[in-house]
Each structure stands twice: as structure tokens, then as C-alpha cells.
Amino acid sequence: MSGELKVCEKKSGLRIAMIGAGYVGLTSGACLAAIGHQVVCCDINRERLKVLEAGGVPFFEPGLSEMTTRQIAAGRLTFSSAPEEAARDADAVFIAVGTPSGADGSIDLRYVMAAAEAIAPVLRSGATVVLKSTVVAGTAARVRDVIARVRGCSDVYVGSNPEFLREGSAIDDFMNADRVIVGADEPAAMSLLASIYAPLAERGIPVVGTATVNAELIKYAANAFLALKIGFINDVANLCEKAGADVRDVAGGIGLDARIGNRFLEAGPGFGGSCFPKDTRAFASLGAHFGAPQPLIDALIKQNDTRKASLARRIIDKTPTGGRVAVLGATFKANTDDVRESPALEIIQHLVKAGLDVHVHDPKPELAIAAIKGVEWHFDPIDAARSADTVAILTEWQEYREIDLNALADAMWGVALFDYRNLIQPQAANAAGLDLYPIGRPEAVRPRPVAGSGAGWTESLAALPER
């Protein structure tokens, strides 16, 4: 479901400039247009802008292309390559540029500061600059200073509106957010932010106003907490493997406690993407900077970093030296083409380094192809698995959940299927003649028939526990 509002067909919303038209800027810009505002999305990346101006979307996000097309046609969404042009008449200028990790894990604010400098001279007096990029506490205050310095006076507001959307479900997350957090330190800026989100508030979505520095910290604390849930369940998964338990049942059991909640408890290859890894590093670094260390997050970062190597080792150990391995999935999660800090890419790199012949499939491989060398790409997962000694599912694409296991087994030479997203039923894998190595669940390795015992595969399989 797109979540796009039907009630806001008017063209007369607030004038909004969105600086940075990436996964967050373009999605937020299109959604703000869909709730009735006049939005100009601006990006200095010429390639991205060319695609946008031609009516396309320069990355894959379900439903976004249709949404931008509708908003362009409705006259509410336009594009610009010049931040100073986009910002000139705006009531609110959102900054949604990248905030990557610096070499020491702290946040690199250079794109935010450059955007602030670029728009500062042209802002209307009384306009509000809104930081949508994920930034550490105190950044809005720094941006306020930069703008005041460039303008020679303090006549614009700077607030915060952190974004919580996830790639792959970005539109729905924006339109049906659990809450919208707006941070402002002046009534005029708070009132503008409230007006921007009024159409969502009218639909019952809580729009929560707070001080700017609180809004900045809410974003980091939220991402750190969610990442902790994943790190925790991955440790529980390790324990389940040793104790003969099933992490999915354990997660389901604890998740029914409303105090815990059942989301973000899926064990897997560790968290990746453009946010959790860099945001946990920045959060830890911010804590160290303020003399308020975050030891839980420090431990989480280490645990998540080492997980990929240890999961790669399991595959290497079951593949003959120099053997062939097929990897299904390269993006950091399903329904995106994004490979930033993808656990799959890191595992692939370990496999290549171990001297294996690595064949990869992903339904949206363009960015992955550019990011990784030394592997062979395939358009079809079964083709990737042809003659493979081992196969590893690393991303939870629906296509892999529904894969024809008999065709997979027929294509392979070996029988080991690593399922690091727990998509495959053990009985189904065994019935197809495959041994299944899942995460946090008992391995489903078919008992080998003992010579002379008369026990064939069929009888042995019947003894496997039902799930």
C-alpha cells in the first residue's frame, strides 16, 4: 500500500525545499508533496538529477517512481540542481544530505555544513531550516551559527525532524509513521513544523514537538535501541544453536510480551545498511565525546562486526578448497538495491578471499555489481547455483523464500544450503536432498544411510521432527 493521501488535492501547501534527493530526501519530498505541499527536491549529483528530470528515480524503492510521477503531474513536485535556487522562496528548507561515518566512527558533517553554507545567503528572513539528515546532538546549533555567520544576522530558525523510514517500505513508513518527531526551540519554527505535518496529524499520527537537541538524540537512541534488539537476538541465536532450540520460537515467545514487542527480533547475518552501522558508531562516539560512554553500544558494534566473518567461516568450512559457492542476495536487506554496509557483501568478500569460486545472484544487482569484484553474476538464482558445492542465502528476497528447491538441488553438485535469513523449511530442504544450515535453529542434515541397515532416505526423513 502506498499510503498516499487522497484528501490533499490542493496545490496551496507550504513551499518546501528538500536539499539532497537520495533515499530519504526524494521519498520525504514526494510524500510531503502528496500531503499537499509545494516541494522542490534539489541534488548536486548531476547523474541523479538527470534521471529525476527525465521522470525517473535513480535508485530502487518500491512505489516511489509511481508516487513521484503523480506528484510531478499534479504540479507539486519539481527538481533543481542548485540549492540556492531551491531554497530562495521556501518557507522550510529540509537538509537531507548524507552523514557518513568519519574514519574514527564519528559522524562526518561536511555535507550538512556545505548545504547550510550554500543556502544561507538566499533564505527568506523568518524561514526555517530543518535537519532531516541523521545528526548528532548539537548539530542544529552549529548549523544555526554557520547560517548566522554567512548572513550576518540571526533571522532564520533551525530545527530538527529526524526521519525513521526504512528502505524497502519507505513510503508506507513515512505516510503511516508510528510518530513524527519535530524539534524546534522557537514557537514560530515549531508552529511551521506542525503545519507541515498537520495532514498526518489529522489522520491520527502523533506529531511530537520537543527541543531540537532532544529530537536529534531521539533519532540516535531509537536506531541504537533497534540495533541492540537485533544484536541481542543474534547472540540468542548462537545459544539456540548450541542448546538445540529454535530462535524463531524463542523470539516469538519473548516478543509477545508487550514490553519487548515482536519486531526487530529476526536473527540473521548482522545488521547492515546505510544507518544502523554508522549511527551506532556515531552514538558511541558522541557518548565518548561527552564523557558519557555507551558500553552496550560499543559491545554491539564489535559483535556485529565479527558476526559476518564467523558466518562466512561456516560456509568456507563446508566448501572444498577452491570450490564453487553460490550466494543468493547481495543487498543489505530485501526490496532495496542499496548495498551500503551490506552483511552479504562482506560475507562475499570473505568467501572470495578464501579462494572460493563465488557466483552471485540478486534481483536488484546494479549497485552490488559496482561494489564488488572477483565474483561472477547471474540473472537467475538456479543458474548461479549450477555446479555449486554450497549455496548461501544472505538476503531475504521473496524470490528465495519461494525458490524451487528441487531445481536448486538438481543444479548443485553439493548438498549444503546455508540459510542465513531462515527462509527455508527444513523438511522441504531435506525432501529435495539438501542439508540445511540455518541461523539459530538445529541444522537439518539428513542422516546418512548406514551400509547394510536397510534404512533409506525416506525412512530417515520420516524421523525428522515436524515444525
Residues that bind ligand NAD (CB under 6 A): 19-25, 42-45, 48, 83, 96-99, 111, 114-115, 118, 133-134, 163, 165-167, 274-275
Rounded least distance, CB 277 to ligand UDX, Å: 9
Residues in the chain: 467
The C-alpha atoms of residue 364 and residue 372 are separated, in whole angstroms, by 14
Contact partner, 43, from ligand UDX, ligand NAD, none, Cβ < 5-8 Å per class: ligand NAD
Contact partner, 25, from ligand NAD, ligand UDX, none, Cβ < 5-8 Å per class: ligand NAD
Contact partner, 115, from ligand NAD, ligand UDX, none, Cβ < 5-8 Å per class: ligand NAD
* The only residue of 163, 172, 337, 389 in contact with ligand UDX, by rule CB under 6 A: 163
Rounded least distance, CB 214 to ligand UDX, Å: 17
Which residue, 24 or 423, has its beta carbon nearer to ligand NAD? 24
The C-alpha atoms of residue 100 and residue 20 are separated, in whole angstroms, by 14
Q: Can you tell me which residue has the cell 536448486? A: 408
Query: Which x/- pattern over 194-223 shows residues binding ligand UDX (rule: CB under 6 A)?
Result: -----------------------------x
Task: Please give the biggest Cα pair distance in the chain.
Answer: 91
Which residue, 271 or 437, has its beta carbon nearer to ligand NAD? 271
* The only residue of 15, 124, 142, 166 in contact with ligand UDX, by rule CB under 6 A: 166
Q: Rounded to 5 degrees, what angle do the CA atoms 215, 220, 222 make?
A: 90
* The only residue of 83, 98, 272, 426 in contact with ligand UDX, by rule CB under 6 A: 272
Which residue, 268 or 426, has its beta carbon nearer to ligand UDX? 268
Which residues in the 331-350 window bind ligand UDX by CB under 6 A?
Answer: 332-333
Rounded least distance, CB 309 to ligand UDX, Å: 16
Distances (CA, A) of 232 to 267, 279, 334: 9, 17, 21
Contact partner, 42, from ligand NAD, ligand UDX, none, Cβ < 5-8 Å per class: ligand NAD
The C-alpha atoms of residue 343 and residue 273 are separated, in whole angstroms, by 8
Cell of 456: 533409506
Rounded least distance, CB 191 to ligand UDX, Å: 25
User: b/e per residue, 215-247, with b = 16+ CB within 10 A?
Assistant: bbbbbbebbbebbbbbbbbbbbbbebbeeebbb
Q: Is 275 a catalytic residue?
A: yes
Q: Can you tell me which residue has the cell 532564520? A: 156
Which residue, 151 or 166, has its beta carbon nearer to ligand UDX? 166
Report the chain's C-alpha Rg in angstroms. Answer: 25
Rounded least distance, CB 272 to ligand UDX, Å: 4
Which residue, 21 or 375, has its beta carbon nearer to ligand NAD? 21
Q: How far is CA 283 from the centre of its chain?
A: 17
The C-alpha atoms of residue 243 and residue 251 are separated, in whole angstroms, by 15
Cell of 242: 548450541
The C-alpha atoms of residue 388 and residue 325 are separated, in whole angstroms, by 5
Q: What share of the chain is helix, strand, coil (3-state, %, to 5)?
A: 45, 15, 45
Phi, psi of 183 (to 5 degrees): -115, 130
Which residue, 334 or 408, has its beta carbon nearer to ligand UDX? 334
Candidate segments 180-188, 272-280, 282-290, 369-377, binder of ligand UDX by CB under 6 A: 272-280
* Cα-Cα-Cα-Cα dihedral sign, residues 309, 311, 317, 322: negative
Contact partner, 230, from ligand UDX, ligand NAD, none, Cβ < 5-8 Å per class: ligand UDX
Instruction: Catalogue the active-site residues.
Output: 275
The residue ranges that bind ligand UDX (CB under 6 A) are 163-167, 223, 226, 230, 264-266, 268, 271-273, 275-276, 332-333
